[in-house]
Structure 1
């Protein structure tokens, strides 16, 4: 009987022992994404398919709605890692930050917006934008800077050749386009395809195809966090790379099914069509490496928009060693 009671006691203690073990081997990471977008499909794949869990990471995702709010969360330790445009790390560095923000894993490598017209434009030409009302994105953000870069590439001065509206918050831009007098708007998917399906707009061009490769959205963290938690950042990057490879090899319809919990209000078929649009133009990075050419392209776009505060060297704010090591495994 005593032996039996000892066995019962041991069994009762086992769950507590296992919990203790799990607590010691699982690391928590607070991840802030700049917005909720299927443009970030590989991130949601990593979450839904358990790639972070396989690495012993408990990733808590929060949506911070805007580059400034995302960077504030990161700098104030409200987030450990941020998914946001690389331009934000340049802005922070230019303010003489003693704890620079380091880009360590790229997620998207093109602009993710599309030019949507209120009326059908079967024979659209970029010059059609002249003398029109264009509802753009927030000044200083990557969507707006890329938008202006592409317009200038086609001989359009965004300040003089059209009426450029930039006074609408990111989350309110779709509604403002529907209810306002703007003839064109710059939208992400799946909003662009949703508008087209509902007859509220018509996709006429892709800013991603026009602007080339840029480090559009990148996972970044403070140098101090990286110094103290390099192993966790390695595990995080490994999970992201697994997801990137899976997305590259998987059909848009299957990807849509996996990430649908993050876009419950979007029809699966439309979600798949939007993902396919991004895949076909190479928007999803196929590995975590942010290369020097992309960094130079980013700075050229920022400079053209008058938003480059300083010529920050690639080596100062980009760490590729972790991603390179992961890819060699």
Structure 2
């Protein structure tokens, strides 16, 4: 009888150790849902591939949302811990009255990362060339579509009067729709834009982001409950991201492209290098994850102009720079 009791105790203790080990392993996993997969987010991929997250004891699990609405759904439903998407989604949820609305705790990019793609080369392009044309712009209320509207406005064009934006095509289906004959132009992110041109299917015409002011285009966000429960994990996450930001800031295009390759196995290093160069040319990458209130106000201007919101949100309601500032100060 004593033998069985000892055996039972061993089994119970072993099971308990297993549970603790499994819990610790799970606690080290951070599930990140990215709005799309693009060289636009180079600092994050560099941090993953160079082992910066591993150095922090974190394992990253990436999923592609295929649109900010889907990425936000993943965060709000608990399918993802952290979302990488446009902060406009946090504005929408906050204005919608959710109590556990997401909070932005770090910024990654400060320009629109999309490029206007045409069916033929146009080395002397002027925004006025778009009069009477149709552009596939993605979902209405999404950042790509709203920034395109704002860029058109900044260049003297009014959507719906001078030019038509097609909002009916889902973000992750834009390339296929354009290739199928829809629209005169569309927008694409890198490396898709470079690959599309290299395949002889279209031509990169101009950067949308270069036509407008800096905005907090892509940010890291999580629910308030996750930030309360996992502050150390979030700090470790941002330390790794900061190292990725520094790497992209300091290294040459070829070195960055090589570091990105594992995240884009079907894309050549040369294409990745060209994509990095294109984003650096418009100063797309942040050198600090701290968001400025001025850029946030520009974002709200864009949302108001697009008619996506009818009132503004206070900066401190959905932006918390505490962790980002401490990481930036220590870098």
Same fold (TM > 0.5): yes
Distance 1:25 1:152, change over 3 A: closer
2:97 paired residue number: 96
User: What secondary structure is seen at the aligned counterpart in 1 of 2:165?
Assistant: strand
Compute the displacement of 1:299 (Å): 0.5
CA distance in 2, matches of 1:213, 1:240: 20
CA distance in 2, matches of 1:92, 1:24: 31
Q: Are 2:141 and 1:140 equivalent residues in the alignment?
A: yes
1:32 paired residue number: 33
CA distance in 2, matches of 1:201, 1:273: 16
Compute the displacement of 1:243 (Å): 0.6
Distance 1:188 1:24, change over 3 A: closer
1:222 paired residue number: 223
8 Å CA contact 2:86, 2:143 repeated in 1: yes
8 Å CA contact 2:304, 2:311 repeated in 1: no
2:194 paired residue number: 193
Show CA shifts across 1:224-271 (max 9, x none): 111111111111111100110011001111111111122122221011
8 Å CA contact 1:26, 1:58 repeated in 2: no
2:86 paired residue number: 85
CA distance in 2, matches of 1:58, 1:194: 30
Q: Are 2:279 and 1:273 equivalent residues in the alignment?
A: no
How many residues are treated as equivalent by the alignment?
A: 314
User: What secondary structure is seen at the aligned counterpart in 2 of 1:62?
Assistant: strand
CA distance in 2, matches of 1:234, 1:227: 12
2:61 paired residue number: 60
User: What secondary structure is seen at the aligned counterpart in 2 of 1:224?
Assistant: helix
1:209 paired residue number: 210
User: What secondary structure is seen at the aligned counterpart in 1 of 2:103?
Assistant: strand
8 Å CA contact 2:290, 2:328 repeated in 1: no
8 Å CA contact 1:113, 1:189 repeated in 2: yes
CA distance in 2, matches of 1:231, 1:222: 15
Q: What is the alpha-carbon root mean square deviation over aligned residues?
A: 2.0
Distance 1:181 1:69, change over 3 A: closer
Q: Are 2:265 and 1:254 equivalent residues in the alignment?
A: no
Q: Are 2:170 and 1:162 equivalent residues in the alignment?
A: no
Consecutive unaligned residues of structure 2, counting only runs of 5 or more, are 1-13
2:241 paired residue number: 240
CA distance in 1, matches of 2:296, 2:162: 29
Distance 1:87 1:22, change over 3 A: closer
1:4 paired residue number: none
8 Å CA contact 1:30, 1:81 repeated in 2: yes
CA distance in 1, matches of 2:191, 2:75: 27
TM-score, normalization by structure 2: 0.90
8 Å CA contact 1:255, 1:272 repeated in 2: yes
8 Å CA contact 1:94, 1:309 repeated in 2: no
CA distance in 2, matches of 1:163, 1:99: 37
1:150 paired residue number: 151
8 Å CA contact 2:140, 2:167 repeated in 1: yes
8 Å CA contact 2:30, 2:81 repeated in 1: yes
Compute the displacement of 1:54 (Å): 1.0
CA distance in 1, matches of 2:134, 2:99: 42
CA distance in 1, matches of 2:25, 2:135: 53
8 Å CA contact 1:26, 1:56 repeated in 2: no
